Chain A
């Protein structure tokens, strides 16, 4: 049994987009804040901070989860992927990013990292999804700009069960 004391920081290390990272966190530090302020990976956005909006979605051990509802200390030893890990090493877009670009699937872009991480976790399964399945998966991510149509279209281009011309 390990007890982490309030007010004192302990080391937390995990794999972030394929690279080992570490930093120091208080017991109450949220994973979202740890990523942004301690690691400096500010691509993960934070809005509601109580699990409702999905802006902070990251992929932990292959599963899309809300980083504002996880403590940094709980991420110890995990394999985490964030928006920073999507682009190729030459900074070119991956397929999902490219489809978002082509389909105008973002306006202010605040929700985009969370939405792309939710969709990335679906992409890992290798299967194709119907529109209702895509919409259900996206029900956990709120976008206040687009009205979702373009986001769903972009997602279907890459993950959908219909053939794109």
Chain B
């Protein structure tokens, strides 16, 4: 199918975008890589009056790596972050997770911030943001604010971004020095959306575990005193807490089982 008609704004500055969002509200949509939005437009799942293309705004295409972590501008493509040597070194998990985000053809256009804005519950990048305790920076005509991952990702395709705000960057902190990390997901085919995705940071017997695709947004928990003996019960409790949901890809029960099994595998690997 083809999109319903809309006006197209080719923005040149962040102010162009925040101005247009302020005057149009929910009837306007930002388009970044288009790898989720264009499909929704083609299927007429959304029919905005105004589309604001941010891809030509100078300065939003930067990847900055410093002591604190990796900061990614709004127009940085997923393939660019995956190939960035310094970012790979600072947060190796990011490149690993990115290799599961769609296919080379979608990563060549899809942006990192667009995936966060889209907020699919099983998407890999929101999972990373929650695991690492990252944040997004939003801009509106009123100014800027930085929101922590958990406060930003509020539900299925839902975030705390106001309709007049755009994401200008996202920050992925480095894991603590000496910590070990791991990532696992299960999907029908490589490159399909994950059914369940998991990632963890292990420091001695302390563990931070993030789970995507079970609750309606990725969730991270901190577990202390983890060992091979305590883990099954801890994972079982987490599985029941997150509950899961039934859809055409898997049942809630299957999703809970993935936390127990994939979770155990992954954590043992990280703690080994």
A residues lining the B interface (CB < 8 Å): 1-7, 26-28, 30, 33, 49-51, 54, 57, 63-66, 68-71, 73-74, 118, 121, 136-137, 139-140
Contact = CB atoms under 8 A, between A and B. Distances in A.
A73 B56 CA distance: 12
Contacts of B257: none
Given A5-B7, A63-B79, A140-B191, 4 more contacts: A6-B5, A28-B5, A139-B189, A140-B106
Interface stretch (B33-41, B119-127, B241-249, B261-269): B33-41
Contacts of B34: 69-71, 74
Interface string B189-218: 111000000000000000000000000000
B42 A50 contact: yes
A140 B104 CA distance: 7
A2 B10 contact: yes
A139 B42 contact: no
B149 interface: no
Contacts of A4: 7-10
9 contacts: A7-B5, A27-B5, A28-B4, A28-B8, A30-B38, A33-B2, A66-B35, A69-B38, A140-B103
Interface string B1-45: 111111111111100100000000000000000110011011100
Contact of B38 (A7, A51, A73, A137): A51
B109 A69 contact: yes
Contact of A51 (B13, B79, B106, B189): B106
Size bracket, chain B contacts? 35 or more
A132 B172 CA distance: 29
Interface of B: 1-13, 16, 34-35, 38-39, 41-43, 49, 51, 53, 55, 79, 102-106, 108-109, 189-191
A27 B38 contact: no
Nearest to B191: A139
A138 to B, nearest CB: 9
- In the A-B complex, the 8 residue pairs with the smallest Cβ-Cβ separation, listed nearest first, are A140-B103, A27-B8, A50-B39, A69-B38, A63-B108, A6-B5, A1-B16, A2-B10
A4 B1 CA distance: 21
Nearest to B16: A1
B10 A73 contact: yes
A118 B104 contact: yes
A37 to B, nearest CB: 11
A66 B38 CA distance: 11
A2 B108 contact: no
Given A27-B51, A28-B2, A73-B8, A64 B38 contact: no
**Which of B1, B13, B41 counts the most chain A CB atoms within 10 A?**
B41
A26 B51 CA distance: 13
